[in-house]
Amino acid sequence: GQQLNQSPQSMFIQEGEDVSMNCTSSSIFNTWLWYKQEPGEGPVLLIALYKAGELTSNGRLTAQFGITRKDSFLNISASIPSDVGIYFCAGYPGGATNKLIFGTGTLLAVQP
């Protein structure tokens, strides 16, 4: 089945550092989404990308939809302690399905 692979699996950084994580697939996705999940909570949508090549920002977050439609990255600038959580990429493979496929997640820990 379709899979989304995220890297890195985890990151331990100092407050103020910039962070980059990415997501790749062997198949094409029509929409890429980035979610953040905090302990005991559901995933919260951060950024949605709808067109290949699209670059979108949301505050300190920037994400891009890869030209090949098989990858996406998320950057967080000037990290703060509340950025801690698990970041999931997710995508719609398109076609007749409205099912969202989730990536494996990147755990981010920020040291004050």
Partner 1 sequence: EPEVTQTPSHQVTQMGQEVILRCVPISNHLYFYWYRQILGQKVEFLVSFYNNEISEKSEIFDDQFSVERPDGSNFTLKIRSTKLEDSAMYFCASNSVGYGYTFGSGTRLTVV
Work out how close the CB of 99 gets to partner 1 at its nearest, in angstroms, rounded to a whole number.
5
Q: For residue 38, give every residue at least 6 positions away whose Cβ sits within 8 Å of its Cβ, in sequence order, or none.
A: 44, 84, 85
Work out how close the CB of 79 gets to partner 1 at its nearest, in angstroms, rounded to a whole number.
23
Work out how close the CB of 111 gets to partner 1 at its nearest, in angstroms, rounded to a whole number.
22
Contact 81, 110 (CB under 8 A): yes
Q: Which is nearer to partner 1, 8 or 16 (CB)?
A: 8
Q: Which is nearer to partner 1, 61 or 90 (CB)?
A: 90
Q: Which is nearer to partner 1, 59 or 112 (CB)?
A: 59
Residues in touch with partner 1 (CB under 8 A): 31, 33, 35, 40-45, 48, 50, 88, 90, 92, 97-105
Please choose, from the candidates 73, 84, 75, 69, the residue with its C-alpha nearest in 3D space to the C-alpha of residue 30: 69
